[in-house]
Chain A
Amino acid sequence: MGYSAKFKVWRGDDEGGALEDFDVDVNEGEVVLDIVHRLQATQAPDLAVRWNCKAGKCGSCSAEVNGKPRLMCMTRMSTFDPAETITITPMRTFPVIRDLVTDVSYNYTKARMVPAFAPPADLEPGDYRMAQVDVERSQEFRKCIECFLCNNTCHAVRDHEDNKDGFSGPRFLMRIAELDMHPLDTVDRRDVAVEDHGLGYCNITKCCTEVCPEHIHITDNALIPLKERVADKKYDPLFSVSSLFRKATGRDKAPETPKG
């Protein structure tokens, strides 16, 4: 069932580059990353690409396939017409290092700015008690494989390099929401969300949600509730009204945490 497909692959570095044409064999069941590997093995041994798991678990192989932000290992060749030319380009929002590899250090810098998890000081390891329903909200966000496709897609940074300073993108606003919804976390990150991570830049277009390979409801379940909670704070700084955030109230709803 093999056929020969036409590919255009962006090749170059931080000084510039261009699409290069390739004809390459495609076999049944293959994904775009297989084709890139075949190019490396047969025609372009120095073609730069990142990958690890080949199963959508590590978030390394992000790129744009025919302009769409995708994981190459989860993009099946059978979704294309054999006659179609397939174009692979690096993620646009991050500076190119070489070929399909981009400099994603922006993301790691932002990650380091999110105030870490802080459990109650008197809670001993082994004594953590949390109900499944209370951990599920944050668990959804912890499915994130850090492919950074959402941050690559969000128009607030995709087309506005200067916003990168003030805006951390959906990935790290979601991380703030995740920590805030953690049943045993004790830190209030609402000011940080606005001031350091630019929550206000997000105008809930949901483009991030659409590209998330983990199908996390980034906008509906993380960003909007976070915005609501920040708004709540303006009315009443002591109590959170938003029912999604249990932190103020959650600990008494969770099963008893025994002492000792």
Chain B
Amino acid sequence: MTELERHSYDVIVIGAGGAGLRAAIEARENGKRVAIICKSLFGKAHTVMAEGGIAAAMGNVNSNDNWQVHFRDTMRGGKFLNSWRMAELHAKEAPQRVWELETYGALFDRTKDGKISQRNFGGHEYPRLAHVGDRSGLELIRTLQQKIVSLQQEDFRASGDYESHIRVFSELTITRLLTNEGHMAGAFGYHRETGDLVLFQSPAVVLATGGIGKTFKVTSGSWEYTGDGHALAMRAGATTVNMEFIQFHPTGMVWPPSVKGILVTESVRGDGGILTNSEGKRFMFDYIPDVFKEKYATTPEEGDRWYTDPDNNRRPPELLPRDEVARAINSEVKAGRGTPHGGVFLDVSSRLPADVIRKKLPSMYHQFKELADVDITAEPMEVGPTCHYVMGGVEVEPDTEETRLPGLFAAGEVAGGLHGSNRLGGNSLSDLLVFGRRAGLGASEYVDRVGGAAPAVTDEMIAEAEAEALAPFGVEGGENPYTIHSELQETMNDLVGIIRTESEMQEALAKIEGYKERIRSVGVQGGRAFNPGWHLALDLKNMLLVAEAVAKAALERQESRGGHTRDDYPAMSPEWRQVNLICRSTGDAVELTRQPLSPMRGDLLDLFEVSELSKYLTESELPKGEH
């Protein structure tokens, strides 16, 4: 056995998407030595794919916007299950975080008076998303990446070493978090390139590993989305919250099959696109739920007027929160009014001139042209729901992003709380910036508090981590991990998908038990250097743990809310709104407990009309007194 590669840092950040990079910047600005670790190359994390924009109430397009309005929209979108403190911090701090990006070199699209332009998006009362065409995520990640480079240049000038304070370890997968007496001590993983194993020692770890999309069959996520962070945290002793809430984005591509699930940005609707069924009907007018009745147009004429005169008209229902639109599409297709390939039509061609479409939605134009032979300036797209985002995630303390495990922090998609039961578009990129920064700060302060040194990592801990990582090589003629993965994806899609019922979820849980049994005998061919079969075999364990958490929580929650729709419990229940579902790992299973939500602070409750609150809250929670 060759010598194990070892590193030691003040803070390690697992994940190089928006959240991880922003956390790393903050830790470095607080004088910490930071390692950034990611599974892909630097700059390729999921964040790069985000299209629509970053939500921040800067009020550049409509000066009525402010943090209170953004806070209200976020709470409504999440059906009041959000961590209200996170929603408050998010709405207040997002503008500063976006402006800061300009100081790093970002170039957003501009308004006429030279400010950052903002676009409309589902669930946002005013135009709020800072964007660059439909490649906003690329701008965000590249800007942060370039800021990291500029900090490295500063460090070089000071020390002669670019990596004196920030080092990026790309194509390195973490397989285990190491703890000592209930405190963070480090992380263990392998280089994808060589298969060599690595130990990182550090008192503080920031998890920024993104989502879980690859547990589902139809998904907008990449191979990276295997829920590693959720699983690592649970195995190390931290908890997840409300994992049942999964966002199915209403508009994924449905044809051809090989691109099924790839995202069609909501900006298509924000910029005027409409949804129609096979009968040519704009069906969303039939699906405006009671809680949103006053806020949405009831006729196409009014909806159309809103684009030019938003102060005197209500917005079209195509811009309802995503869960509503996804369910509506699902119902239309089930009722036999779908398109030839099982979706519905999304049309901008009849709504905007071709050159405007190409200008505003360049990557959508390109994507459909190149992948589906569809010219979106001349014909409608076919779209259907795709698994897009997990609202649930690692449970964190709202101000510092510390998990239940001292020294472990989490931010970005892997963390839970902010979005409640449903995330609004654009609120993820702002989430990454606001809470990425806070996690980097929280981790730095933690390191100062504990005095720098990491708790010891013992030889037994290392041996165990090694054995776990290399186990699939010891299995002769074992089962192919690709087979189990595709069965799991199918199970989750069909049985724990958009519409759920008790019997199906029980069936899913039984199947998951079977897969858990089978992965013990998964084997891999070939050597350790860049071996995707081996990588998948390890990722699969994470996906199974996450799938079990999702299915168990979904089975437990007997109501429908946001990204969790129960056929057998179709109503939203004020009693269930008071419940967070917490998952832990017991070693080989997921244990679920209920935990009360903390009541919202009075001044925040006061931002809503009682008549609105009464749709969500129990009688006894409603504010007393005059409103």
Give the B-binding residues of A (Cβ under 8 A): 13, 27-31, 34, 40-41, 45-60, 74, 76, 97-99, 101, 104, 108, 111-112, 114-117, 119, 123, 125-126, 128-132, 135, 138-139, 142-143, 145-146, 179, 182, 185, 254-257
Interface centre among B100, B363, B530 (most CB of A within 10 A): B530
The answer to whether the Cβ of B115 comes within 8 Å of any Cβ in the partner chain is yes
Q: Given A47-B532, A76-B371, A145-B138, is A29 in contact with B41 using a C-beta cutoff of 8 Å?
A: no
Name the one of B46, B139, B258 contacting A30, with C-beta atoms under 8 angstroms.
B258
B533: A residues at CB distance < 8 A: 40, 45-46
Q: Given A13-B529, A112-B152, A135-B107, is A54 in contact with B222 using a C-beta cutoff of 8 Å?
A: yes
Closest chain A residue to B46 by CB distance? A52
Closest chain B residue to A30 by CB distance? B258
A28 to B436, CA, bound (A): 42
The answer to whether the Cβ of B132 comes within 8 Å of any Cβ in the partner chain is yes
Closest chain B residue to A185 by CB distance? B105
The answer to whether the Cβ of B531 comes within 8 Å of any Cβ in the partner chain is yes
A41: B residues at CB distance < 8 A: 480, 482, 486
Mind listing 15 A-B residue pairs with CB under 8 Å?
A29-B259, A45-B481, A45-B532, A46-B527, A55-B49, A58-B44, A60-B44, A76-B370, A111-B149, A129-B113, A129-B115, A130-B110, A131-B114, A139-B109, A145-B138
CB distance from A140 to the nearest CB of B (A): 10
CB distance from B529 to the nearest CB of A (A): 5
A179 to B104, CA, bound (A): 11
B153→A52 contact, CB < 8 A: no
A131 to B107, CA, bound (A): 11
A45→B482 contact, CB < 8 A: yes
Interface SS, A side: loop
A51 to B221, CA, bound (A): 12
A126: B residues at CB distance < 8 A: 95-96, 99
A132→B149 contact, CB < 8 A: no
B135: A residues at CB distance < 8 A: 57, 143
Having A55-B49, A131-B110, one finds 15 other A-B pairs with CB under 8 Å, namely A27-B258, A28-B257, A29-B258, A30-B256, A48-B529, A50-B40, A55-B259, A74-B371, A101-B530, A112-B152, A116-B147, A128-B99, A128-B103, A129-B115, A139-B133
A139: B residues at CB distance < 8 A: 107, 109, 132-133
B480: A residues at CB distance < 8 A: 41, 45
The answer to whether the Cβ of B193 comes within 8 Å of any Cβ in the partner chain is yes
Name the one of B41, B142, B162, B255 contacting A50, with C-beta atoms under 8 angstroms.
B41
Closest chain B residue to A46 by CB distance? B526
A252 to B96, CA, bound (A): 26
CB distance from B153 to the nearest CB of A (A): 6
A139 to B113, CA, bound (A): 18
| Chain B 326-358 near chain A by CB (<8 Å), digits 1 or 0 | 000000000000000000000000000000000
Question: Which 7 pairs between the two chains have the least Cβ-Cβ distance?
Answer: A29-B256, A46-B526, A116-B150, A117-B105, A45-B533, A129-B114, A255-B114
A31 to B49, CA, bound (A): 19
Count residues of B near A (Cβ-Cβ below 8 Å).
Answer: 69
B367: A residues at CB distance < 8 A: 55-56
B256: A residues at CB distance < 8 A: 27-30
A235 to B470, CA, bound (A): 64
A40 to B482, CA, bound (A): 9
B531: A residues at CB distance < 8 A: 45-46, 48
B149→A51 contact, CB < 8 A: no
A53: B residues at CB distance < 8 A: 48-49, 222
B40: A residues at CB distance < 8 A: 50, 52, 58, 60
The answer to whether the Cβ of B412 comes within 8 Å of any Cβ in the partner chain is no
Interface residues of B in 112-133 (CB under 8 A from A): 113-117, 132-133
CB distance from A96 to the nearest CB of B (A): 10
A40→B152 contact, CB < 8 A: no
The answer to whether the Cβ of B42 comes within 8 Å of any Cβ in the partner chain is yes
Q: Given A40-B482, A58-B48, A125-B103, is A142 in contact with B259 using a C-beta cutoff of 8 Å?
A: no
A41 to B103, CA, bound (A): 45
Closest chain B residue to A133 by CB distance? B110
Q: Given A60-B40, A97-B530, is A255 in contact with B113 using a C-beta cutoff of 8 Å?
A: yes
CB distance from B580 to the nearest CB of A (A): 32
A51 to B224, CA, bound (A): 10
Closest chain B residue to A257 by CB distance? B114
A116→B149 contact, CB < 8 A: yes
A115 to B146, CA, bound (A): 10
CB distance from A88 to the nearest CB of B (A): 15
B258: A residues at CB distance < 8 A: 27, 29-31, 34
Q: Given A50-B40, A99-B530, is A57 in contact with B107 using a C-beta cutoff of 8 Å?
A: no
Closest chain A residue to B96 by CB distance? A125
Closest chain B residue to A125 by CB distance? B99
The answer to whether the Cβ of B262 comes within 8 Å of any Cβ in the partner chain is yes
A29: B residues at CB distance < 8 A: 255-259, 371-372
The answer to whether the Cβ of B223 comes within 8 Å of any Cβ in the partner chain is yes
Closest chain A residue to B261 by CB distance? A54
Q: Given A45-B533, A53-B48, is A119 in contact with B138 using a C-beta cutoff of 8 Å?
A: no
CB distance from B264 to the nearest CB of A (A): 10
Interface residues of B in 351-398 (CB under 8 A from A): 363, 366-367, 370-372
A204 to B229, CA, bound (A): 46
Closest chain A residue to B483 by CB distance? A41
